[in-house]
């Protein structure tokens, strides 16, 4: 069994091969612009960009749907709140609830905006391996090192955490089965009973994790890892012409959206 | 406990696709017999043990315990009498003392406190961790071999009639191995049915009457060892080796079918 947390979908699309730094900057710019501009035309531009990106990425749409599903309640909530508290003339009233055309319009606009935002962000995480993401973040936050923020170390911590989350989930699964073999029951009883049933699972999980962390630290030291030193990389990030082209394209789109 | 499997198929679901772990596995084990479950890494040994204990739901096929299947009355009670010890003891030890940890299973069975105490003491004694010396020790303060035996005690305290062991000899030093082998022989003497998943064909040869060979989720051999009748080949073909004593007998030009089980027996035969 393999558990995945970050949802990178391997592929060879132009978006997959794009420099991760460029992708982060582009997606950030698009996200900010999406919220700065308050026009239907701009929203249409951003929605079009998101659709094109999804198609170019070659990632099956169900992956985007999977990322969107947990956020649907937020979209729903936004919709309801907008409808209930929007100004304007009511065309339908029931007690304290007044439905207005402006409200429905506003709710639709904000919901679509949220969906576009999530899909745009998903393009980044679905086409970029987690390690490339953290590498790019480490590079982009380099100026903070002048302020003595240990950006390299933070990036390494994130990378290690991402690397071990699936391992921990698998271990959790095995531990639960081992305790079920001894009669543990995680599915029945009230909240306190169930919480107590987790003790025999969490203790071994912590012990195993700490032991592994110790081993990993020793192994890293044995391979000459020293915190505070700047590491060189096996695959240095190098932006090529097509990366700059992509960034220029995004800049044009953002500029366009600002005008329309 | 009598055990039989018919057409057992188990699959894992990964990224929406079903990956077969066991395919159409059928075999019988008579009560009181010890069976070695052999096969290369990834052959499905752990999956089979967990399916026998009911921790994994098979896609198709049935497991029968004493002739009873899931639909029969009394099956749940039989399944509680199946003990499974996982490969890594550190995954199941959690209590503050050896005694408390061993008591977890029996308590979950709902036994009265007196019975639990008796079962715990007996189990610790049986695995060679005398409760007077080890009872109050912290499980994580024990050596690897002692932890392995403590994990075994935690299952033995539930008085299983069918014991499933997953790679019990891995990473044990020679003294710990000997101690564990002695415990298993004592259990077999007491009539417990044993299924021992292992890479260690020498230990398997010494302890077990029968063998099951799995490869890529399929059962490729079952029943009594068949050395001298093609049994060696069936092991080598599937990434294993015949036991040392069998190989020695073959090289001595003697009948592999008559190879001794222990060093002592070999010395006796050669003297």
Q: Give tens-digit pLDDT for A34-54.
A: 888 888 888 999 999 999 999
In the predicted model, is pLDDT for residue A179 greater than 90?
A: yes
Task: Please answer whether residues B38 and B201 qualify as being in contact, where contact means their C-beta atoms are separated by less than 8 angstroms.
Answer: yes
Residue B110 falls inside a structural domain: yes
Are A69 and A94 contained in the same domain?
yes
A127-157 burial, b if ≥16 CB within 10 A, otherwise e?
bbebbbbbbbbbbbeeeeeeeeeebbeebbe
Residue A31 falls inside a structural domain: yes
> C-alpha dihedral over A39, A40, A43, A48, to 10 degrees?
-140
A187 or B220: which leads in pLDDT: B220
Are B101 and B235 contained in the same domain?
no
Assign A90 to helix, strand or coil: strand
Angstroms from B133 CA to nearest CA on chain A: 23
Q: Which residues of A touch B86 (CB under 8 A)?
A: 174, 177-178, 181
Are A134 and A193 contained in the same domain?
no
Are A176 and A216 contained in the same domain?
yes
Residue A228 falls inside a structural domain: no
For residue A100, report the phi and psi dihedrals to the nearest 5 degrees: -125, 155
CA dist., res. B90 & res. B140, Å (int): 8
Mean pLDDT of the residues in chain B: 91
Are A190 and A116 contained in the same domain?
no
In the predicted model, is pLDDT for residue B15 greater than 80?
A: no
Residue B216 falls inside a structural domain: yes
Are A54 and A89 contained in the same domain?
yes
Helix/strand/coil (H, E, C) string of chain B? CCEEEEEEEEEEEECCEEEEEEEEEEEEECCCCEEEEECCCCCCHHHHHHHHHCCCCCCEEEEEECCECCCCCCHHHHHHCEEEECCCHHHCCCCCCHHHHHHHHHHHCCCCHHHHHHHHHHHHHHCCCCHHHHCCCCHHHCCHHHHHHHHHHHHHCCCCCEEEEECCCCCCCHHHHHHHHHHHHHHHHCCCEEEEECCCHHHHHHHCCEEEEEECCEEEECCECCCCCCHHHHHHHCCCCCCHHHHHHHHCCCCHHHCCCCHHHHHHHHC
Residue B258 falls inside a structural domain: no
Are B177 and B229 contained in the same domain?
yes
Are B112 and B217 contained in the same domain?
no
Mean pLDDT of B179-185: 90
Q: Which of B51, B76, B92 to mutate to test the interface with A (most CBs of A within 10 A)?
A: B92
In the predicted model, is pLDDT for residue A6 greater than 70?
A: no
Q: Which of B91, B104, B106 to mutate to test the interface with A (most CBs of A within 10 A)?
A: B91
Residue B259 falls inside a structural domain: no
* Domain-ending residue, one of B141, B158, B175: B158
Mean pLDDT of A53-79: 85
Quote ipTM for the complex: 0.87
The DSSP 8-state label assigned to residue A9 in this structure reads: -
The shortest CB-CB distance from B94 to any of A171, A185, A204 is to A204
What local confidence, expressed as pLDDT, does residue B68 receive? 93
The shortest CB-CB distance from A204 to any of B53, B92, B109 is to B92
Are B25 and B150 contained in the same domain?
no
Assign A94 to helix, strand or coil: strand
A117 or A94: which leads in pLDDT: A117
What local confidence, expressed as pLDDT, does residue A163 receive? 81
Residue A181 falls inside a structural domain: yes
Are B53 and B168 contained in the same domain?
yes
In the predicted model, is pLDDT for residue A2 greater than 70?
A: no
Chain B residues contacting A, CB < 8 Å?
12, 14-15, 50, 53, 55, 80, 83-86, 88, 90-95, 104-105, 108-109, 140, 154-155, 158
Angstroms from A22 CA to nearest CA on chain B: 29
Please give the residue of chain A at the shortest CA–CA distance from B85.
A178
What local confidence, expressed as pLDDT, does residue B83 receive? 95
Residue A75 falls inside a structural domain: yes
Residue A188 falls inside a structural domain: yes
In the predicted model, is pLDDT for residue B72 greater than 80?
A: yes
* Domain-ending residue, one of B127, B158, B189: B158
In the predicted model, is pLDDT for residue B158 greater than 90?
A: yes
Residue B74 falls inside a structural domain: yes
* Domain-ending residue, one of B158, B175, B206: B158
Whether residues A183 and B109 touch (CB distance < 8 A) is answered with yes
Q: Which domain holds residue A127?
A: 14-142+238-259
What local confidence, expressed as pLDDT, does residue B14 receive? 67
The β-bridge relationship of strands B34-38 and B17-29 is unpaired
In the predicted model, is pLDDT for residue A144 greater than 90?
A: no
What local confidence, expressed as pLDDT, does residue A161 receive? 85
CATH number at residue B202: 3.40.50.300
Are B51 and B172 contained in the same domain?
yes
> C-alpha dihedral over A133, A134, A139, A141, to 10 degrees?
110
Are A111 and A90 contained in the same domain?
yes
With pLDDT > 70 as the criterion, what percentage of chain B qualifies? 98
Whether residues B90 and A180 touch (CB distance < 8 A) is answered with no
Residue A229 falls inside a structural domain: no
Are A138 and A50 contained in the same domain?
yes
What local confidence, expressed as pLDDT, does residue A71 receive? 81
The β-bridge relationship of strands B193-197 and B60-65 is unpaired
With pLDDT > 90 as the criterion, what percentage of chain A qualifies? 23
Mean pLDDT of A242-250: 89
Please give the residue of chain B at the shortest CA–CA distance from A207.
B90
Assign A82 to helix, strand or coil: helix
Residue A7 falls inside a structural domain: no
- Side-chain-facing half-sphere of B9: CA atoms under 13 Å: 9
Angstroms from B93 CA to nearest CA on chain A: 6
Residue B263 falls inside a structural domain: no
Mean pLDDT check: name the lowest of A113-117, A224-228, B30-34.
Answer: A224-228
CA dist., res. A84 & res. A86, Å (int): 6
Put simply, the chain A residues between 196 and 225 with a CB less than 8 A from any chain B CB are: 199-201, 203-204, 207-208, 211
How many domains is chain B built from? Answer: 2
Are A171 and A216 contained in the same domain?
yes
With pLDDT > 90 as the criterion, what percentage of chain B qualifies? 70
Are B182 and B231 contained in the same domain?
yes
Task: Please answer whether residues A177 and B50 qualify as being in contact, where contact means their C-beta atoms are separated by less than 8 angstroms.
Answer: yes
Are B170 and B138 contained in the same domain?
no
pLDDT tens for each residue of B205-244 = 999 999 999 999 999 989 888 887 766 777 888 888 899 9
Are A42 and A111 contained in the same domain?
yes
Mean pLDDT of the residues in chain A: 85
Are A28 and A132 contained in the same domain?
yes
Are B196 and B208 contained in the same domain?
yes
Q: Which domain holds residue B135?
A: 92-158
Mean pLDDT of B66-82: 92
How many domains is chain A built from? Answer: 2
Angstroms from B154 CA to nearest CA on chain A: 8
Are B189 and B230 contained in the same domain?
yes
Are A68 and A162 contained in the same domain?
no
- Side-chain-facing half-sphere of A185: CA atoms under 13 Å: 13
Mean pLDDT of A219-244: 82
Whether residues A175 and B91 touch (CB distance < 8 A) is answered with yes
Are B171 and B203 contained in the same domain?
yes
Q: Which residues of A touch B85 (CB under 8 A)?
A: 181
Top-confidence range, A30-44, A131-145, A177-191, B45-59: B45-59
Are B206 and B177 contained in the same domain?
yes
């Amino acid at each position: 069994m393999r558990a995945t947390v970050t949802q990178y979908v391997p592929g060879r699309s132009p978006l997959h091969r794009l420099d991760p730094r460029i992708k982060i900057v582009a997606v950030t710019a698009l996200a900010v612009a999406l919220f700065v501009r308050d026009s239907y035309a701009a929203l249409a531009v951003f929605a079009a960009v998101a659709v094109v990106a999804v198609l170019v990425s070659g990632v099956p749409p169900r992956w985007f749907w999977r990322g969107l599903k947990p956020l649907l309640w937020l979209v729903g909530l936004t919709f309801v709140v907008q409808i209930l508290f929007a100004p304007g003339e009511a065309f339908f009233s029931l007690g304290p609830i007044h439905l207005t055309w402006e409200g429905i319009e506003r709710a639709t606009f904000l919901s679509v905006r949220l969906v576009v935002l999530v899909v745009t962000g998903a393009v980044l995480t679905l086409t970029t391996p987690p390690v490339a993401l953290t590498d790019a973040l480490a590079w982009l936050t380099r100026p903070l090192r002048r302020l003595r923020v240990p950006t390299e170390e933070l990036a390494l911590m994130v990378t290690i955490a991402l690397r071990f989350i699936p391992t921990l989930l698998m271990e959790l699964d095995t531990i639960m089965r081992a305790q079920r073999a001894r009669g543990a029951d995680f599915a029945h009883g009230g909240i306190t009973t169930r919480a107590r049933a987790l003790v025999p699972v969490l203790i071994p999980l912590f012990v195993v994790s700490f032991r592994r962390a110790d081993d990993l630290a020793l192994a890293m030291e044995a391979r000459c890892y020293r915190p505070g030193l700047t590491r060189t990389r096996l695959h240095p990030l190098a932006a090529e012409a097509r990366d700059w082209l992509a960034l220029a394209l995004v800049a044009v789109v953002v500029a366009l959206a600002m005008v329309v | 406990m009598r055990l039989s499997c018919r057409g057992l198929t188990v699959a894992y679901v990964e990224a929406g696709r079903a990956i077969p772990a066991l395919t159409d596995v059928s075999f019988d084990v008579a009560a009181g017999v010890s069976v070695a479950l052999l096969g290369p890494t990834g052959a499905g040994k752990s999956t089979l043990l967990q399916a026998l204990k009911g921790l994994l739901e098979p896609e198709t096929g049935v497991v029968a315990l004493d002739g009873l299947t899931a639909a029969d009355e009394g099956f749940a009670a039989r399944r509680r009498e199946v003990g499974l010890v996982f490969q890594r003891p550190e995954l199941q030890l959690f209590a503050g003392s050896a005694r408390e940890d061993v008591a977890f299973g029996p308590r979950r069975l709902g036994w009265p406190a007196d019975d639990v105490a008796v079962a715990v003491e007996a189990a610790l004694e049986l695995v060679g961790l005398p409760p007077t010396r080890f009872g109050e020790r912290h499980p994580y303060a024990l050596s690897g071999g002692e932890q392995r035996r403590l994990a075994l005690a935690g299952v033995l305290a539930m008085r299983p009639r069918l014991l499933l062991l997953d790679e019990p000899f891995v990473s044990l030093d020679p003294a710990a191995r000997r101690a564990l082998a002695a415990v298993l022989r004592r259990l077999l003497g007491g009539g417990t049915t044993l299924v021992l998943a292992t890479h260690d064909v020498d230990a398997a040869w010494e302890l077990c009457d029968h063998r099951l060979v799995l490869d890529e989720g399929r059962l490729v051999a079952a029943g009594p060892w068949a050395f001298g009748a093609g049994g060696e080949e069936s092991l080598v073909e599937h990434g294993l080796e015949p036991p040392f004593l069998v190989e020695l007998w073959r090289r001595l030009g003697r009948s592999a079918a008559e190879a001794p089980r222990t060093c002592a027996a070999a010395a006796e035969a050669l003297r």
